[in-house]
Amino acid sequence: MKSAPMVPLPAYQEYPPEQMLSRSRDFLADLRRRRTVRHFSPRPVPPEVIENCLAAAATAPSGANMQPWHFVVVSDPGLKQRIRLAAEEVERAFYHGRASEEWLEALEPLNVDEHKPYLETASCLIVIFEVRYGVNPDGSRIRHYYTRESVGIATGMLIAAVHNAGLVSLTHTPSPMDFLNEILNRPTNEKPFLLLVVGYPAEDAQVPEISKKSLDEIATFY
């Protein structure tokens, strides 16, 4: 691979300290309003909003800039139903067998079970695939680096972009997730990473009363 030409840092914006402070505060306050939602309205979301959120996610840094992600947006009711049925099947096995007592206890505050009606109700499912390696036209493989870290960062940015647009989301991780390759026709170099349910919240949506750790608990300053 040849080295890329170097150009001056484009569009960098420095803010005066006061403005930095207010911007960081405002951003924090806005992200604090984000909640994971499990009650969705069927109201359709504007496709261009989803496209913009995906393009925002795709600005994420990635190992060797390989951008090892693929997003599948599902709004087709038939496909959503197939995904729901398959997800509920693996979730049933999880809740009634695979999950340890300790795991089920940790999930208790979240009020979750094997029923996933939102997979059909919500306007949009975004299935995020981790592209483990690239494939050249001749079939040879292109190595990707730090794929999980990269796709995790992109997913975090996607969640923030969806929130910023005024929609809500749910990170759903049915396990195992390989049924998504089959239903969505994705090749074997792509591994389902996470299913993001996106839409408007139901009018009567409720969320568990849980809190985030304080800064003292999550950070150390030397």
Closer to ligand IYR by Cβ: residue 69 or 94: 94
Closer to ligand IYR by Cβ: residue 174 or 199: 174
End-to-end CA distance of the chain: 40
Contact (Cβ atoms closer than 8 angstroms) between residue 114 and residue 88: yes
Got the DSSP string for 122-165? Answer: SSEEEEEEEE-EEE-TTS-EEE--SHHHHHHHHHHHHHHHHHHT
Closer to ligand IYR by Cβ: residue 71 or 94: 94
Paired strand residues for 187: none
- Chain residues in the site for ligand IYR (CB under 6 A): 91, 94, 107, 110, 112, 172-175
Cis ω before 117 (30° cut-off from 0): no
**Which residues does 39 contact at the CB level (< 8 Å), separation at least 6?**
118, 201, 202, 204, 205, 206
What is the nearest approach in angstroms of ligand IYR to the Cβ of residue 94?
Answer: 6
What is the nearest approach in angstroms of ligand IYR to the Cβ of residue 221?
Answer: 29
What is the nearest approach in angstroms of ligand IYR to the Cβ of residue 95?
Answer: 7
Radius of gyration of the chain from its Cα atoms, rounded to whole angstroms: 20
Closer to ligand IYR by Cβ: residue 98 or 143: 98
What is the nearest approach in angstroms of ligand IYR to the Cβ of residue 114?
Answer: 7
Paired strand residues for 69: 130
What is the nearest approach in angstroms of ligand IYR to the Cβ of residue 97?
Answer: 13
Residue nearest to ligand IYR (CB): 112
CA–CA separation, 125 vs 33, rounded Å? Answer: 22
Closer to ligand IYR by Cβ: residue 68 or 168: 168
